[in-house]
Amino acid sequence: MAHLKRGGHTVTSIQRHTQHNELNTGSYDCLIHLAARAHVVRETVQYPYPEFKEANVDYSMKMAQLARQLQVRRFIFLSTIGVNGHISQQPFTESDTPKPHNDYARTKWEAELALKAFFEKSETVLTIIRPPLVYGPNPKANFKALLSLCRSPFPLPLGAIHNRRSLIGIDNLCQFIALCCHHPAAAHQTFLISDDHDVSITELVALIRKALHHAPWLVPIPTSVLKIIFSLLGKRNLNEQLLADLQIDTSKAKQLLNWGPAISFDEGIKRAVTNHVA
């Protein structure tokens, strides 16, 4: 929201408690839908799919109905690269067959389909954005855990991981969302977006520790050994999060919208680290 305001836009924030009758019909160019039930660290529900569906599909449709009611010209839906899958054999593209791997990604895909059907014959145009892991100051979930790990004074056994991961900094994501708010070619499109600079976990940890003014202190443990260790610790999910490839092809955004990330990957990591509140 701050990014849009700095760009001269007038922004109204819609929360779950917002009284919709207080919103002015015909006064808004774009509705950006960011709210979602994402990754829950300590899931308390045995079968969480209904919880994900209510938040990610049902609530998205309520926002779509609100957009139609308010005569909003464009609806931007922030989805997830998880719709494509969680491991890439080659860089993901917009034309790939979706392979969502968990309830979060599955319900995001279901929301995409429902929104496309809802807006198909509407004057409101839909734009879908599927980002990978988003990092920035005071992050949550996986990047928060990685940042905490990098802040520790101990050597880390992550010095021999040669995978490739796409990420996106919050500044670049906000820049892209703002572009999609007004660019004519963004209408009725789905975009995969990243910093356009893929790194291995080894490189990422070294870069974070450098920004923290720490020595890298990375021990080169073979990935085959790490897989065994993670499995024995009951952390099989780390095999995918730390060791597997997840790359994104951003060619469509660059060619169709003439887009390029405003902030370099190195600078984005520095901002995330130096502005982080532990």
Annotated active-site residue 104? The verdict is yes
147 is written with which tokens?
């940042």
**Among 249, 40, 2, which Cα is nearest to 141's?**
40
Residues 6+ apart with CB under 8 A from 125: 73, 74, 75, 119, 187, 188
Distance from C-alpha of 159 to C-alpha of 231, rounded to nearest angstrom: 19
Residues 6+ apart with CB under 8 A from 90: 247
Q: Which amino acid is at 195?
A: D
Distance from C-alpha of 2 to C-alpha of 260, rounded to nearest angstrom: 20
**Among 230, 249, 248, which Cα is nearest to 239's?**
230
**Among 235, 233, 234, 248, which Cα is nearest to 81's?**
248
Distance from C-alpha of 108 to C-alpha of 149, rounded to nearest angstrom: 29
Contact 244, 227 (CB under 8 A): no
- Choosing from 47, 59, 104, 135, the catalytic residue is 104
Positions annotated as catalytic residues are: 104
